[in-house]
Amino acid sequence: MKIVPVLLSGGSGTRLWPLSRAVLPKQLLPLITNKTMLQETLLRISRWATVTNPVVVCGNDHRFLVAEQLREIALSPNSIILEPAPKNTAPAIAAAALQLQGQDVYMLVLPADHVIRDLQSFEHAVQTALTAADQGNLVTFGIKPAHPETGYGYIKLGVESAPGSYKVNRFVEKPDLATATEYVASGEFFWNSGMFLFKPETFLKQLEIHAPEITAAVSKAVNNSYKDLDFVRLEESSFAESPSLSIDYAVMEKTDHAVVVPADIGWSDVGSWTSLQEVQEQDANGNVARGDVYLKNVENSLVRSEDRFVAAIGVRDLIVVETSDAVLVASKDAAQDVKEVVEYLKLNQRSEHKIHPRAYRPWGWYESIDLGERHQVKRIMVKPGEKLSLQMHHHRAEHWVVVSGSAMITVDGNTKLFSENQSTYIPIGSTHRLENPGKLPLHLIEVQSGSYLGEDDIVRYEDTYGRS
């Protein structure tokens, strides 16, 4: 029987702002290595003989990035399921289970943004969980706590169910520090990892018993789902009827079939900048530095530069994260409070919590490098063989200058090939399209001018990627 990895890729990672944002959250970022968190999650289990093609559940905004990142590591998905709206983990897992039922497989449910450093111990824990899952149980993995932690939920072990696995005595919400200290000292409590293993039919049976509203809504959404390119779109109105519940609240805290496998696997949910520092290699002074960074007399700090040179002198216990449009400076003790910055940005209707200066599209990316009252300058990259939609703008004209590569440009039905240092002009109201016919990435500079420069001033007539 095969194991199907089911990756949950719907989080926004607000505590890792300004790097992680709604449009490009932490699971789609290369936070630790040159691979993204999603890619690392899949690569760590792809070598197992029993593992087959993954199911990824994600939001509509991330679909092309997820597909591209799977392609980069040469993994073909079983399916990429698109949630019409975020509904927490229980409906997402239900959608995957409904797709997989009847296939005689196990589901290994994994958040796409966790770190596991001891791969051998993780594989052993999964093998232990398979025995418990064969007995009709829903298995979760309890992480041996390295220290009292108030940011995690806990699981108390009950009686032994099978070798290496235990009945769940109870789930406990995030405790205060004194309670967490007692839990760790007792040896009976483990961190709740949010990872699970079970057969699809086992989960669906328990979901029907304990959360029938989710079963009904998601079943309709799956039955009426439809293909969109390489994606499976759940039917919107049916999925909207589902309650928004985690798998813990919906099933695991209620069922008599919850089993936990204790695991010491070097796990972290990388839920804050301090936890990211803990899982990375540190210098002799306890620092983690990444990017164009200079440190002098700095201790126990994380300093990360994404765009500009950053210098830190004579400080300790700091988090410094620089991006092209925002800088975070915080005490490590206040790492959990970063999410309050995100709330501030939302309340003030700003965009820095949501979008990055670089916006990724299925054809490549663009980033704004200058913005004024009636002009905007963008840098654009189009991947080989890709093309933008055939489109028109009501309020802006555009000048395109090819920096490198080849550009096939169509304006009002006339197509011409442009190469390095050549340029063209697209008047307001002209129908136009940009394509890269070459084998190398196309880089160009776009200068926009007009009364309105918003991204919603696009009328698409034809699009390779099915966007309206």
Average pLDDT over the chain, rounded to an integer? 94
Cα distance between residue 286 and residue 194, in whole Å: 29
Least confident interval from 163-177, 285-299, 377-391, 438-452: 163-177
- The answer to whether the beta carbons of residues 138 and 198 sit under 8 Å apart is yes
In tens, the pLDDT along 79-110 reads 999 999 999 999 999 999 999 999 999 999 99
Q: Give me the pLDDT at residue 455, please.
A: 86
CATH 2.60.120.10 is right for the domain spanning 358-462: yes
Cα distance between residue 160 and residue 172, in whole Å: 19
Cα 99 from chain centroid (whole Å): 21
Q: Which of 431, 426, 425 is nearest to 459 (CA)?
A: 431
Structure confidence at residue 425 as a pLDDT band (50, 70, 90): very high
Q: Is the pLDDT reported for residue 298 higher than 70?
A: yes
2-268: CATH topology: Spore Coat Polysaccharide Biosynthesis Protein SpsA; Chain A (3.90.550)
Query: 468 or 276, which is more confident?
Result: 276
- The answer to whether the beta carbons of residues 168 and 262 sit under 8 Å apart is no
Domains of the chain by residue range: 2-268, 282-345, 358-462
Tokens describing residue 159: 């009686």
pTM of the predicted model as reported, rounded to 2 decimal places: 0.88
- The answer to whether the beta carbons of residues 315 and 301 sit under 8 Å apart is yes
End-to-end CA distance of the chain: 41
Q: Give me the pLDDT at residue 77, please.
A: 93
Contacts 24+ apart (CB under 8 A), 230-237: 230/67, 230/77, 230/80, 231/63, 231/67, 231/80, 231/81, 231/82, 232/79, 232/80, 232/81, 232/82, 232/99, 233/60, 233/82, 233/84, 234/81, 234/82, 234/83, 234/84, 234/95, 235/84, 236/84, 236/85
Q: Is the pLDDT reported for residue 11 higher than 90?
A: no
Per CATH, 2-268 and 358-462 having the same topology is answered no
SS (H, E, C) the chain: CEEEEEEEECCCCHHHCCCCCCCCCHHHCCCCCCCCHHHHHHHHHHCCCCECCCEEEEEHHHHHHHHHHHHHCCCCCCEEEEECCCCCHHHHHHHHHHHHCCCCEEEEEEECCCEECCHHHHHHHHHHHHHHHHCCCEEEEEECCCCCCCCCCEEEEEEEEECCEEEEEEEECCCCHHHHHHHHHHCCEEEEEEEEEECHHHHHHHHHHHCHHHHHHHHHHHHCCEEECCEEECCHHHHHCCCCCCHHHHHHCCCCCEEEEEECCCEECCCCHHHHHHCCCCCCCCCEEECCEEEECCECCEEEECCCCEEEECCECEEEEECCCCEEEEEHHHHHHHHHHHHHHHHCCCCCCCCCCEEEECCEEEEEEEECCCEEEEEEEECCCCECCEEECCCEEEEEEEEECCEEEEECCEEEEECCCCEEEECCCCCEEEECCCCCCEEEEEEEEECCCCCCCCEEEECCCCCC
- The answer to whether the beta carbons of residues 164 and 106 sit under 8 Å apart is no
Q: Give me the pLDDT at residue 253, please.
A: 93
Cα 186 from chain centroid (whole Å): 35
Residues 399-415, mean pLDDT to the nearest whole number: 96
Residue with tokens 């990211």: 276
Structure confidence at residue 229 as a pLDDT band (50, 70, 90): confident
In tens, the pLDDT along 238-263 reads 999 999 999 999 999 999 999 999 99
Residues 440-455, mean pLDDT to the nearest whole number: 94
Q: Is the pLDDT reported for residue 13 higher than 80?
A: no
Q: Give me the pLDDT at residue 468, please.
A: 65
Q: Report percent pLDDT > 90 for the chain.
A: 84
Residues 362-379, mean pLDDT to the nearest whole number: 92
